[in-house]
């Protein structure tokens, strides 16, 4: 551990963390709700909003990774053993990979379904693949599977944070307090 | 080049683009047939009768296809085909024509004017063009769907056919 390691995340990192946490929870909840709806104008509307939120999260995660690569996050507590530190690092990397892949597979699913995405009705995004039903199903399945994987990882992330706060009482959560 | 006999479509595609929530949605029909004759030297005797098998619609989503085949949209059980029958073809430029005719869809007949561009290459002749329909003119997407804020009224149709004797 470097002695230059900061004690707290930067305000930008904290802001991005909590904005994305709220956005991901909302996008996940809306995604669960909308997929069970019968086809209707309301369903088309809510799908569109879900896509706009997804594109926003996709942009935010790149900003967040750029910020993280230029602003060193605080080190993990020295009380954690090497194996646990390694596991934590892998889990954090997996969270970032999922935050990139989930909106991307959503965009691919929409493209393959022949439905383009026009971000906030202003910015048309290119269709990444041609219209193809089999491809559309594949990306839909992938999008869902990655979401359930993210849910499991996020639950583990929250459980780990609570363990530090209430069992280890090492004040780890203070580093991410808004 | 055949001067009289009827021709048909060798290969081709009919695609359409709608707009939902401001974003384009693509679809196409896999099955269609044609009885046509095109002689640039004898436009009065040239004609096109196109039949589209609406059940062959491809929207890359079973849910959307089931919906559009239903009574609120195309009502395919009652109206399985769409027809276009030309009545008049006029030249408007080099290899460019306008085709007037009657379009029948979901029990509604409306006059339609379709631009046509002919091109010639080693493999023969091909016809292509693009035009716009208003779905509400044909009662396509009625009831809660007739409002155009979610699904726009205009649908752009593109066709490209190679013609064979």
First to last CA, chain A: 25
pLDDT the model gives residue A4? 66
Which of helix, strand or coil describes residue B36? strand
As assigned by CATH, the class of the B8-164 domain is mainly beta
Instruction: Report the percentage of chain A scoring pLDDT > 70.
Output: 98
Mind listing the pLDDT tens digit for each residue in B124-157?
899 999 999 999 999 999 999 999 999 999 999 9
Exposed/middle/buried for residue A3 (C-beta within 10 Å: 0-12, 13-18, 19+): exposed
Q: In angstroms, what CA-CA distances link A149 with A76, A153, B6, B84?
A: 24, 6, 60, 51
Residues on chain A touching B151 (C-beta within 8 angstroms): 41, 44
Mind listing the pLDDT tens digit for each residue in A51-97?
999 999 999 999 999 999 999 999 999 889 999 999 999 999 999 99
pLDDT the model gives residue B2? 41
Contact A133 B58 (CB under 8 A): yes
pLDDT the model gives residue A7? 85
What is the rounded CA–CA span in Å between residue A78 and residue A88?
13
Instruction: Report the percentage of chain B scoring pLDDT > 90.
Output: 88
Query: Sorting pLDDT into bands at 50, 70 and 90, what band is A2?
Result: very low
What is the rounded CA–CA span in Å between residue A170 and residue A40?
51
Token pair 């995405």 in the structure block, residue: A117
Facing residue for A113 by CB, picked from B60, B67, B149: B60
Contact residues for A134 (Cβ-Cβ < 8 A; gap 6+): none
Contact A133 B27 (CB under 8 A): no
Mean pLDDT throughout A148-175?
Answer: 95
Q: In angstroms, what CA-CA distances link B161 with B24, B33, B44, B123?
A: 23, 10, 21, 12
Range name among A133-142, B89-98, B115-124 with the lowest pLDDT average: B115-124
pLDDT the model gives residue B165? 82
Alpha helices in chain B (DSSP H): 62-69
Facing residue for A112 by CB, picked from B20, B21, B60: B60
Q: What is the ipTM of this complex?
A: 0.88
Both tokens of residue A13?
A: 């990192």
What is the rounded CA–CA span in Å between residue A147 and residue A9?
26
Residues on chain A touching B60 (C-beta within 8 angstroms): 112-114, 131-133, 136
Q: Report the predicted TM-score, pTM, of the whole model to 2 decimal places.
A: 0.91
Contact B58 A48 (CB under 8 A): no
Helices (H) and strands (E) in chain B, counts: 1, 10
What is the rounded CA–CA span in Å between residue B20 and residue A70?
41
Task: Answer with the residue of higher pLDDT: B1 or A136.
Answer: A136
* pLDDT higher than threshold 80 for residue A139: yes
Distance from CA of A43 to the nearest CA of B (A): 10
8 Å CB contact between A129 and A108: yes
Residues on chain B touching A119 (C-beta within 8 angstroms): none
Residue of B nearest to A130 (CA): B26
Q: How many residues does chain B have?
A: 165
8 Å CB contact between B4 and B28: no
Exposed/middle/buried for residue A41 (C-beta within 10 Å: 0-12, 13-18, 19+): middle
Q: How do B108-121 and B124-134 pair as beta strands?
A: antiparallel
Mind listing the pLDDT tens digit for each residue in B58-100?
999 999 999 999 999 999 999 999 999 999 999 999 999 999 9
pLDDT the model gives residue B5? 66
* pLDDT higher than threshold 80 for residue B6: no
* pLDDT higher than threshold 80 for residue A141: yes
Both tokens of residue A100?
A: 């990139």
Three-state SS letters, B65-122: HHHHHCCCCCCCCCCCEEEEEEEEEEEEECCEEEEEEEEEECCEEEEEEEEEEEEEEC
pLDDT the model gives residue B164? 87
What is the rounded CA–CA span in Å between residue B78 and residue B106?
8
Q: Which of residues 34-53 of A touch B (CB under 8 A)?
A: 39-41, 44-45, 47-48
Question: What is the average pLDDT score of chain A?
Answer: 95
Q: Quick check: A141 contacting B, CB < 8 Å?
A: no
Domains of chain A: 11-176 (1.20.950)
């Amino acid at each position: 551990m470097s002695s230059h390691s900061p004690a707290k995340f930067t305000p930008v990192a904290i802001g991005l963390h909590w904005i994305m946490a709220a956005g991901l929870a909302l996008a996940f909840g809306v995604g669960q709700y909308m997929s069970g709806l019968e086809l209707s104008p309301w369903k088309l509307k809510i799908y569109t909003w879900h896509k706009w939120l997804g594109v926003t999260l996709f942009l935010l995660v790149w900003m967040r990774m750029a910020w993280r690569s230029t602003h060193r996050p605080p080190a993990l507590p020295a009380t954690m053993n090497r194996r646990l530190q390694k596991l934590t690092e892998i889990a954090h990397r997996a969270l970032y990979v999922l935050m990139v892949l989930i909106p991307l597979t959503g965009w691919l699913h929409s493209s393959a379904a022949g439905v383009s995405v026009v971000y906030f009705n202003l910015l048309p995004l290119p269709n990444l693949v041609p219209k193809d039903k089999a491809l559309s199903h594949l990306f839909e399945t992938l999008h869902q599977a990655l979401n359930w994987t993210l849910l499991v990882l996020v639950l583990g992330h929250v459980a780990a944070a609570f363990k530090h706060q209430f069992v280890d009482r090492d004040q780890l959560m203070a580093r991410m307090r808004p | 080049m055949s001067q009289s006999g009827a021709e048909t479509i060798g290969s081709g595609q009919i695609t359409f683009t709608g707009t939902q929530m401001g974003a384009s949605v693509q679809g196409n029909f896999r099955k269609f047939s044609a009885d046509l004759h095109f002689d640039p030297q004898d436009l009065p005797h040239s004609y096109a009768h196109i039949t589209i098998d609406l059940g062959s619609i491809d929207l890359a989503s079973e849910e959307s296809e089931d919906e559009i085949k239903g009574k609120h949209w195309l009502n395919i059980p009652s109206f399985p085909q769409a027809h276009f029958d030309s009545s008049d073809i006029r030249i408007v430029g080099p290899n460019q024509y306008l085709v007037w005719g009657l379009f029948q869809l979901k029990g509604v007949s409306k006059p339609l004017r379709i631009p046509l561009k002919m091109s010639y290459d080693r493999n023969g002749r091909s016809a292509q063009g693009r035009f716009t329909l208003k779905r509400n003119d044909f009662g396509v997407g009625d009831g809660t769907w007739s409002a155009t804020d979610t699904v726009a009224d205009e649908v752009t149709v593109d066709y490209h056919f190679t013609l064979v004797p």
